[in-house]
Structure 1
Amino acid sequence: MDKRHRIAAAVLAVTALVLGPAQASAAPLGKPKTAHAKKLAAEYLDRAGPLARAVAVEFGIPASVTAGQSILESSWGQSRLAVTDRNFFGFKCLATGPGPIAVACHDYPTTECTPDCHQVQALFRVYDSMLSSFRDYGRVLSTSKNYTAALPLKHDPNAYVTEVAKKYATDPNYAAKVIRIMQENNLYRLDAPLP
């Protein structure tokens, strides 16, 4: 195991020990405004930040993007999908099942924009932990041909998520939403090397 993988494994192991259960109250998507929302956001970033950094080390994905997408997809870890199924990135099941890391599939209503937005039912991946959800995110974005064009842009988080969004979501404003979250919450700080 090379140094990069040893660091990622250590960060993941420590993070797995400190992760607490998700809370079920709602949280805002942009910059938190109320004291309660700020507290929820800080708690979420305390849990998600180290995982996003570990994904950056292991899979080469900007930590700011990982954190931003998880915030948008999970409503700061408060969505039903995140709380019930520990799915922090909105990953759907494959035709063949949940994939190599997820443990099951769960049916939920969702909105698809193709190009008109409408409600549909879809099977979403279920994970045994927040850690597994983040690792699956890193695995998918670093190995799927859908995101190959984003890989050379990893040093520019905004360009990276703009490229990823082309295949990741049907929402035409998806990249702009993630970038807004990254900017308003200074998630770019997660991309700085660890001291």
Structure 2
Amino acid sequence: MKAAVFESEETRVALVSVDALSIKASIVKFGRELAEEMTGISADHIMVAATHTYSGGPTVEWASNQKGIIRYSSNPELIRKILKTAPEADPEYLRFLSYKIASAVMLADKHKTNAKCAVGIGKEFTVSFNRRFRMKNGRQMTHPRKGSIDGSTRRSYGSIWRRIRGKDGNAYLLDSTSRQNNS
């Protein structure tokens, strides 16, 4: 988990990145509320996002969403088999995650320093490939059946680069986030 706090005049905002496949809104809400109690940063000024990693902790409640998962699958029988062995989110772990969100914001707020921020756009076409396809019915899918792809859709991919340098000239944050533009 990573967090950053930015302050300008009287306003503070926090950005939190959680290494998880996904994260429920109720967990984010509780984490924001705890962070607000600890730091005074307004809960609605705290953004929390999941990195969508498959190696994170158990945050997804597969059983409660089986119908939705199967309905959008191109291979429902395979998905049913997979869901039988899929791990379930542990309520204690989810509660722990809310506290970790709050403590990450608290630590980022405590250690914030003056810095200059920059943003730019770059493109990289040799690292990966597009696994997401827009279907003729308007949905998006990975690994679709032949003949169901909307071939008229063109996309450009790139990355948003962020860099934050402290007054001492050291980089405190340098990362990129893949993004997609429909064009």
TM over 0.5: no
Q: Which bracket does the TM-score occupy, shorter chain normalised?
A: under 0.3
TM-score by length of 1: 0.20
**Bigger fraction of residues in helix:** 1
**Bigger fraction of residues in strand:** 2
TM-score by length of 2: 0.21
Which structure: larger Rg? 2
